[in-house]
Amino acid sequence: MSATMQLAKTESRLFMRDPIALFFGLVFPGALLLALGYLFPGFDEPSADLDGLTYTEAFAPMMIVLGIATLGLVTLPPILGTYRQFGILRRLRTTPVHPARLLWAQLVVHMAVAIVAALIAIAVAALAFDIAAPEMPLWFALSFILATTSTFTIGLLVGALARSTVAGQAIGMGLFFPLLFLGGMWVPRQIMPDGLRTVSDFTPLGSAVGSLTDTWFGSTPEPLHLVVMAAYAVVVGFLAVRLFRWE
Amino acid sequence: MPVIEVEGLVKTYDGLNAVDGISFSVEEGEIFGIVGPNGAGKTTTVESVEGLRKPDAGSIRVLGFDPLQDRYEVTQRLGAQLQESRLQDRLRVGEAMELYASFYTHPADWRELLRRLGLDNKTAARYSTLSGGQKQRLAVALALIGSPEIAILDELTTGLDPQARRSVWDNIEDIRDNGVTVVLVTHFMEEAERLCDRIMVVDRGRVVAKDTPSGLVARMGAEQQLRFRPSVPIADADLEELAEVTTVTRRGNQLVVNGTGNVVHAVTALLAQRGVIAEELRIEQSSLEDAYLALTGNDNTALNREVK
């Protein structure tokens, strides 16, 4: 087996052995959707505030983004911090394999978990709340890829700058909550004041939720959202690569 | 033919030369020791050889290759165990071996390596459950997984208890017996004396001596000291007449005789001839530790004279 495949296999095994990452990254988005839909009265009734969507419909794409944010901002940075702190990246530099391949393996594993978590959330939405699968699957998939790429590069940048596990966790969490807020986790984007929603449009999670919501419920994504996500992916990705320290 | 050649290596940190013009070469098949106090530049030197650091001046050749420019060749043929490097807690021993084996074109049989290092019953154990000695032996196994021609081991036995340390020493001799050249960084003189064919003593970024362990001790003039309580009084002058004796001093009822060469035999023969019994006889000779302390002027290590 090639070194890259073996790295991806090893990293996915390690991910599976981390119960907290597994729960919050993989299961939590679907579980939270289920809980919100069942616990809050009126969540499955269309609301004029939400452009005719029900609260569960509005939260379904939000939950997918929650999963992406958890993986990119909460689990990824401390892993990179740990690998640097433990000298694992340094140790790799003395082998024929460049440590960048370990970063790729991490991104692949996190991407795979994000996809499965999204499928679980989509299944929960369909089975528990009769919400049809995304109506524009290709646009939805593109939005999903841009959302994961932009969020993961932010996690990569945090991991690039964090000297240790704890620093990675602290910076990651410091971004996680404000970005989720701007994404509409506590105040759905549809009922945000106009000014706040404009700010939200220019954040990675805000544009992700906007784009996933549009494509799930039948409209093409707003070009602005796609451009914002792509811009974060390119600019932040460039910074992460430039600033990454192997030790 | 040397497998490692370092010429005029300089590495500067914050305007200070951590390595200040170190040159040495390592011959094929030997165990080459690099010893010196903390901060002497030992690790910086070997990390430059491993290609982890870019020298500010000087040249390095590993099997004829430049560690930075010919990274691929050097990493295929040189295995490293790094100081303060560890693995993921949840990774199993066998998985780590399998992973690292996939990095090399000609990997060794990892099961056989684990068996040689006494870790074959730990294949399924998670890294976090290993003892300090087991972790170090796994680091050695990973350094050897690519079937390297050279293995660099940095402070391998630091932090291990004496028993684990001795077991790792046997492993190092075994590695050399399998045809791998070993570079051993250590600050334990006992370890260097026991294992190394040649030793380079480094202090403040410079080489202060390069010799075999016995050669280093011989430089000390091989002074020996006898201490005993004579059963019958004997005059200092009688002892001082012996060619091998340099000084005779008294401490209470004890005689302290310093000398060189065959001084032990000369003194005991004289005592036997006079019918004097040397009670509480103790003989001390310079050890590598003394040589090291004299060379580095570093006296914060406990003086460890060899008592016979």
State the smallest CA–CA distance between residue A113 and chain B in angstroms: 19
State the smallest CA–CA distance between residue B93 and chain A in angstroms: 12
**Mean pLDDT along residues A4-28:** 94
Q: Would you state the pLDDT for residue B305? A: 34
Q: How high is the mean pLDDT of chain A?
A: 93
- In this structure, the answer to whether residues B189 and B59 fall within a common structural domain is yes
Give the one of B52, B82, B103 whose C-beta lies nearest to A97's C-beta: B103
Give the one of B76, B95, B102 whose C-beta lies nearest to A2's C-beta: B102
Residue B103 touches chain A, beta carbons under 8 Å:
yes
- In this structure, the answer to whether residues B18 and B40 fall within a common structural domain is yes
**Residue B268 is part of which domain span?**
223-285
Number of domains in chain A: 1
- In this structure, the answer to whether residues B202 and B70 fall within a common structural domain is yes
End-to-end Cα spacing for chain B: 39
Could you tell me the pLDDT band of residue A224, with boundaries at 50, 70 and 90?
very high
Tell me, yes or no, whether B163 lies in a domain. Answer: yes
- In this structure, the answer to whether residues B204 and B102 fall within a common structural domain is yes
Residue A174 in tokens:
């410091």
Q: Would you state the pLDDT for residue B306? A: 32
B165 close to B261: Cβ distance less than 8 angstroms: no
Residue B160 in tokens:
């291990």
- In this structure, the answer to whether residues B133 and B237 fall within a common structural domain is no
Greater confidence (B242 vs B151) lies with: B151
pLDDT tens digits, residue range A49-89? 888 899 999 999 999 999 999 999 999 999 998 999 999 99
- In this structure, the answer to whether residues B160 and B257 fall within a common structural domain is no
**Mean pLDDT along residues A160-189:** 91
Tell me, yes or no, whether B174 lies in a domain. Answer: yes
Q: What is the CATH number of the domain that holds B263?
A: 3.30.70.1340
pLDDT tens digits, residue range B121-157? 999 999 999 999 899 999 999 999 999 999 999 998 8
- In this structure, the answer to whether residues B59 and B205 fall within a common structural domain is yes
- Whole-number Å distance between alpha carbons of B17 and B5: 20
Closest residue in B to A19 (Cα–Cα):
B90
**Mean pLDDT along residues B93-111:** 96
Q: Would you state the pLDDT for residue B300? A: 41
- In this structure, the answer to whether residues B275 and B201 fall within a common structural domain is no
Number of domains in chain B: 2
Residue A121 touches chain B, beta carbons under 8 Å:
no
**Residue A58 is part of which domain span?**
3-243
- In this structure, the answer to whether residues B202 and B250 fall within a common structural domain is no
Could you tell me the pLDDT band of residue A10, with boundaries at 50, 70 and 90?
very high
- In this structure, the answer to whether residues B20 and B163 fall within a common structural domain is yes
pLDDT at B291 over 80: no
Cβ-Cβ contacts under 8 Å between A and B: the total is: 64
Q: Would you state the pLDDT for residue B220? A: 64
Tell me, yes or no, whether B134 lies in a domain. Answer: yes
Q: Would you state the pLDDT for residue B205? A: 93
How far is C-alpha B235 from the geometric centre of its chain's CA atoms?
44
pLDDT tens digits, residue range B152-201? 999 988 888 888 888 889 989 999 999 999 999 998 888 898 899 999 99
Q: Would you state the pLDDT for residue B307? A: 32
- In this structure, the answer to whether residues B60 and B190 fall within a common structural domain is yes
Length of chain A: 247
pLDDT tens digits, residue range B68-81? 999 999 999 999 99
Candidates B47, B50, B103: best to mutate against A (most CBs of A within 10 A) is B103
Candidates B48, B72, B75, B152: best to mutate against A (most CBs of A within 10 A) is B75
> Could you write out the three-class secondary structure of A169-188?
HHHHHHHHHHHHHHHCCCCC
- In this structure, the answer to whether residues B52 and B139 fall within a common structural domain is yes
Could you tell me the pLDDT band of residue A109, with boundaries at 50, 70 and 90?
very high
Q: Kindly list the residues from chain B whose CB atom is less than 8 angstroms away from the CB atom of residue A106.
A: none
A167 close to A78: Cβ distance less than 8 angstroms: no
pLDDT at A103 over 90: no
Tell me, yes or no, whether B156 lies in a domain. Answer: yes
Tell me, yes or no, whether B204 lies in a domain. Answer: yes
Q: Would you state the pLDDT for residue A176? A: 96
The values of phi and psi at residue B78, to 5°, are -125, 125
pLDDT at A174 over 80: yes
